Amino acid sequence: MEKKLHNFFQSGILEKYILDETSASENLQVEHYIETYPEVESEYLRLQDNLEILAKASAIEAPHFILDNIKKEAGKETAPVMALVSAHRKTPWYSIAASIIALVFAGSTLMMYQQNRKLLQENQVVVDEIFDLRSDIAENNSILDDLMRRFMRLNNPETEKYVLRGNERAKDLKTVAYINAVDKTSMIDVVSLPQLPGNQTYQIWAEMQDRMVNLGILDPSEREFQSLPYIEDALGLSITIEPKGNNAIASDNAVAEISLKSKNN
């Protein structure tokens, strides 16, 4: 049974099931494993939690509805038609008839012109909305592709998770670093950073044997996973409060520190 579960986990079908990329028959297989084996159910719940973490990092604003814009365009009032004042003189009946026919024709022509113009405007609105939707779809697909790559990286067995919590100087500080020594990748999830004065910033450092290496600035308003430079042989990570700007030398004002596992050294 252990070999069977090992083959199941190695196939990657559980990750595809979480991302809704499996067929109907594969869905039945995965659901059977989840109901039958506690190990599979536990891994399934863990993957769901990780996917929820990543989903919160990418909030996508919904596009405007085409129907609302069409109704807005359709509700605009057309320009009023000015009334014609008849002249106070006798006119032959055939001239009156010709004038009436001309007025009716002119009125019909104006109405058709206004209707065609209105249709053209509505069609342009629809074309613009379709163009915007295509752009949104392409952007959303790109975001989802990036989300899936981060999700797979997050669940890589070689990825180590490190939680950095603030000390007395920043009690509400919490970040989570993910480091993969095999792929040489590193990223950080900014969970919460207390607000600083405008002339100060948070910076993260890699602790080496003889120096501190600057890995970049942490933005309190940034709620997405941020990539960090991977540093070989790093002994630990440290977050400090520094004067605004990208400082090359770390101060003693550390607010969070953690040691890295020896396999990353």
Q: How far apart are CA 209 and CA 203, in angstroms?
A: 19
Q: What share of the chain is helix, strand, coil (3-state, %, to 5)?
A: 45, 20, 35
Q: Closest Cα to residue 51, out of 20, 9, 90?
A: 20
At 86 the pLDDT is 45
Q: CA angle 176-180-182, nearest 5°?
A: 175
Question: Going by DSSP bridges, is the β-strand pair 212-218/254-259 parallel, antiparallel, or unpaired?
Answer: unpaired
Q: CB of 184 within 8 A of CB of 169?
A: no
User: How long is the chain?
Assistant: 265
Q: What is the pLDDT of residues 169-190, one digit of tens each?
A: 888 889 888 888 888 888 888 8
Handedness of CA 29, 30, 36, 39 (dihedral sign): positive
- The pTM (predicted TM-score) of the whole model is 0.48
pLDDT of residue 57: 61
How high is the pLDDT of residue 237? 92
Of 159, 21, 130, 109, nearest to 66 by C-alpha is 130
Residue-level pLDDT, tens digit, the chain, 265 residues: 778 888 888 888 888 888 888 898 888 988 988 999 888 898 888 888 877 776 666 545 545 555 565 556 555 555 454 544 444 444 455 555 666 777 776 777 777 877 877 887 887 878 777 877 777 777 777 766 666 666 666 667 788 889 999 898 888 889 888 888 888 888 888 888 888 888 888 899 999 988 899 988 887 776 667 888 988 889 999 999 888 877 778 888 889 999 987 544 4
pLDDT at 85: 45
Q: Where are the domains of the chain?
A: 2-56, 66-82+90-152, 159-264
What DSSP string describes 205-218?
EEE-SS-EEEEEEE
CA separation, residue 24 to residues 9, 30, 31, 77 (Å): 19, 10, 11, 53
Question: What's the pLDDT at 223?
Answer: 61
